[in-house]
Amino acid sequence: MASDSSVPISHVRISPSALSADFSKLGEECEQIEKAGADRIHWDVMDGQFVPNLSMSADIIKSCRPWVTLPFEAHLMVREPDHLLKGFAEAGCDSILVHAEACVHLHRTLSAIRDLGSRAGVVLNPHTPIDVLTHVLDLIDTVLLMSVNPGFGGQSHIRSVVPKISDTRRLLDGADHPIDIEVDGGINASTIAASAAAGANIFVSGSGVFNHPDGYASAITELREIGNHARG
């Protein structure tokens, strides 16, 4: 399975969200995103329960797997996702991210993702305190902080994520292995710098990449340059 985990944590990585792609030609869109220099592809999976919207399934993601070698990350906006994890691992998702708010037995769910051979991540909604991470640090590779309320692409960035990123970076410094901090929601050339300076190193961008007037490659390059500059 492809992985970009060899990229040092100090370097910014860009993860375009396929939610903003043209669904009638998803395979081609993935190919274009890879050619444009993305580091991975972010798949937003919505169940119509945890969030008020439906999106793609593991089968849809699997159908795109042969088109690219980029790592795939599945962001599961799904209540109690345990029964679905195997499907996403088999669809070629290098990384599986679950919401703390959606998992009653978060420790068990993270263990199950690791047992399937995928990297495990915890996602926190904008209002969720970071304390929930404290006792699962040994089981996680990524913390994904939402900077919109999940469910839709194209929303405005919630800036209170910035101090939350700094707090998370301090908490993760206590872990015995490197853990990525990823930010998701309203990331574009105007919003990425503050989150990068606060300590985030992976950035999801849907509308910021797919709707950029100068095309995917310009969008990705611009985000990476601004992000790396802000990280210093």
Q: How far is the CB of 138 from ligand DX5 (least distance, A)?
A: 26
Tokens (6 digits) for 79: 């209540």
Closest CB to ligand DX5: residue number: 206
Q: How far is the CB of 173 from ligand DX5 (least distance, A)?
A: 26
Tokens (6 digits) for 170: 């301090």
For residues 38 and 204, which CB has a smaller minimum distance to ligand DX5 in the complex?
204
Tell me the C-alpha distance between 24 and 17, whole Å. 15
- What part of residues 74-93 is at the interface with Zn ion (CB under 5 A)? 75
Q: What is the DSSP letter of 93?
A: E
Q: What is the DSSP letter of 128?
A: -
Half-sphere exposure of 3 (CA within 13 A, CB side): 11
What phi, psi does 73 have (nearest 5°)?
Answer: -120, 135
Query: With CB under 6 A as the contact rule, which of the stretches 100-108, 126-134, 151-159, 167-175 interacts with ligand DX5?
Result: 151-159
Figure out which of the listed residues 81, 92, 121, 150 binds ligand DX5, where binding follows CB under 6 A: 150
DSSP letter for each residue of 38-55 = -S-EEEEEEBSSSSS-B-
Alpha carbon of residue 155 to chain centroid:
16
Tokens (6 digits) for 213: 């007037």
| Catalytic member of 22, 39, 44, 47 | 44
Provide the sign of the torsion angle of the four alpha carbons 53, 55, 224, 174, taken in this order: positive
40 binds Zn ion (CB under 5 A): no
Active site residue 44: yes
184 binds Zn ion (CB under 5 A): yes
**String marking each residue 23-52 x if it binds ligand DX5 according to CB under 6 A:** -------------------x-x--------
Beta bridge partners of 72: 41, 93
Figure out which of the listed residues 203, 206, 212, 226 binds ligand DX5, where binding follows CB under 6 A: 206
Figure out which of the listed residues 57, 111, 155, 221 binds ligand DX5, where binding follows CB under 6 A: 155
Active site residue 176: no
Task: Give me the active site residues, please.
Answer: 44, 184
Contact positions toward ligand DX5, by CB under 6 A? 17, 19-20, 42, 44, 75, 148, 150-155, 184-187, 204-208
